[in-house]
Copies of this chain bind each other. A is one copy, B any other.
Amino acid sequence: MTHKGIDMKRNAIVLVSGGLDSATCCAIARQEGFELFALSFSYGQRHGVELEAAQRVARFFSVKDHLVVSIDAPVFGASSLTSDTAVPKNRAIGGEGAEGSIPNTYVPARNTIFLAYALAYAETIASQDIFIGVNALDYSGYPDCRPKYLTAFAAMANLATKAGVEGKRMTIHAPLVALTKAQIVTKGTELGVDYGITHSCYDPSPEGLACGSCDSCVLRRKGFAEAGVQDPTSYALQNE
């Protein structure tokens, strides 16, 4: 892997959930010559094992700093990811993500809160680049993963900040937005990502084992299968 000169490196914030997408996002940002600052969130998610994965990913990519922000759970009260509602299993995943069918794993305004923190962090370290691993093809129906949402966020961000007033444009990088999960796996594998350290499952076992059947596991397994890459994940449920 080649890097631009150390002195030329610009700082980038990378949102790191510890999943397959955010790990690939880190690899792409690093390849583009950025110095990485990881940002993760703790928000009472049942999948707390995510944070351990985020720390592994941050270490793997030798990030300059890793900020973990706690978000009060009551704000996110409505989602099955943060409550006792059942996580949907074995749903048909509509590849093109038809609008209007938003699953109950949707967390209100989640990416807006995440990106708002990223914006504050970016301004604090004089960064003009934020990487987020959202995906619009396999996006499972989340409105805040669509390109037009990200464009609107960037427009708002450039009016929100001191940097923006001074003419420094903020770029929201979403390098995975138009890729299939298989393409993401292929890309990350080319860039040397160790997917064994990542975690995608919405509903892991108490030991942290991926369930194999939630939306996130189904997409992940399908991605590895289609990419023809060995999936290093141990699933509780091994049906194919």
Which residue numbers of A lie inside 8 Å of B, CB to CB? 67, 69-70, 72, 74-78, 99-100, 102, 106-113, 115-117, 119-121, 123-124, 143-144, 146, 148-149, 152-153, 155-157, 159-162, 164-166
Contacts and interface: CB of A to CB of B under 8 A. Distances in A.
B74 A67 contact: yes
Given A100-B166, A162-B106, A162-B143, A75 B69 contact: yes
B120 A143 contact: no
10 contacts: A69-B75, A78-B124, A108-B124, A109-B116, A109-B120, A112-B119, A112-B160, A143-B164, A155-B155, A156-B156
Give the dominant DSSP class at A's interface: helix
A124 B70 contact: no
- Top 4 nearest A-B pairs (CB, nearest first) are A108-B123, A109-B120, A152-B156, A116-B116
A99 B162 CA distance: 9
Contacts of A120: 75-76, 107-110, 112-113
A68 B117 CA distance: 17
Contacts of A153: 156, 160
Given A110-B120, A149-B156, 12 more contacts: A76-B120, A76-B124, A102-B162, A108-B124, A109-B117, A109-B123, A109-B160, A111-B160, A112-B116, A143-B160, A143-B164, A148-B159
A109 B119 contact: yes
A165 B99 CA distance: 7
Nearest to A158: B152
A143 B155 contact: no
Contacts of A146: 159
Contacts of A67: 74-75
A102 B164 CA distance: 12
